[in-house]
Amino acid sequence: MMERSISRRQFMASATAATVLGSTSRAHAQALLGTIATAHSPAEPLKLGVASYSLRNFSREQAIEMTRSLGARYINFKSVHLPYEASPAEFAAAKSQLAAAGLQLVGGGTITFETDTDDGIKKYFEYARSAGMPTIVCTCKPGVLPRIEKFARQYDIKIAVHNHGPEDENFPSPYDVLKAVKGMDPRMGLCMDLGHTVRAGTDPVQAVADAGSRVHDMHAKDLRDFKSAESQCIVGEGKIPIAEIFQQLRAVGYSGYVNLEYEIDPDNPMPGMRQSFSFMRGVLAGLGTRRS
Domain that holds residue 122: 15-291
Instruction: Flag whether 7 is in a domain.
Output: no
The pLDDT value recorded for residue 1 is 39
Q: Is the pLDDT of residue 82 over 90?
A: yes
Instruction: Flag whether 2 is in a domain.
Output: no
pTM for this structure?
A: 0.85
Angle of helix 145-155 relative to helix 118-131, nearest 10 degrees?
40
Angle, alpha carbons 106-111-114 (nearest 5°): 155
Q: Is the pLDDT of residue 119 over 90?
A: yes
Provide CB contacts within 8 A for 182, sequence distance 6+.
Answer: none
Instruction: Flag whether 140 is in a domain.
Output: yes
Task: Decide if 16 contacts 282 (C-beta within 8 A).
Answer: yes
Instruction: Flag whether 29 is in a domain.
Output: yes
The pLDDT value recorded for residue 135 is 98
Percent of the chain residues topping a pLDDT of 90: 83
Q: Mean pLDDT of all residues in the chain? A: 88
Which range (8-17, 57-66, 92-101) has the least confidence? 8-17
Instruction: Flag whether 112 is in a domain.
Output: yes
Residue 86 DSSP label: -
Residue 8 burial by CB count (10 A; 0-12/13-18/19+): exposed, middle or buried? exposed
Give residue-wise pLDDT tens across range 158-170: 999 999 999 999 9
Stretch 277-291: mean pLDDT = 87
- ω into 110 cis (within 30 of 0): yes
Q: Which residues pair with 138 in a beta bridge?
A: 111, 161
Instruction: Flag whether 273 is in a domain.
Output: yes
Instruction: Flag whether 64 is in a domain.
Output: yes
Q: Is the pLDDT of residue 25 over 90?
A: no
Q: Is the pLDDT of residue 30 over 60?
A: no
Query: How many domains does the chain fold into?
Result: 1
Distance of alpha carbon 252 from alpha carbon 109, whole angstroms: 24
Q: Is the pLDDT of residue 208 over 90?
A: yes
Q: Is the pLDDT of residue 216 over 80?
A: yes
Give residue-wise pLDDT tens across range 190-201: 999 999 999 999
Stretch 143-152: mean pLDDT = 98
Q: Counting every residue, how long is the chain?
A: 292
Q: Is the pLDDT of residue 11 over 50?
A: no
Q: Is the pLDDT of residue 93 over 90?
A: yes
The pLDDT value recorded for residue 288 is 81
Instruction: Flag whether 243 is in a domain.
Output: yes
Stretch 23-34: mean pLDDT = 42
Stretch 114-143: mean pLDDT = 97
The pLDDT value recorded for residue 292 is 65
Distance of alpha carbon 272 from alpha carbon 220, whole angstroms: 13
The CATH number assigned to the domain holding 60 equals 3.20.20.150
More confidently predicted of 43 and 182: 182
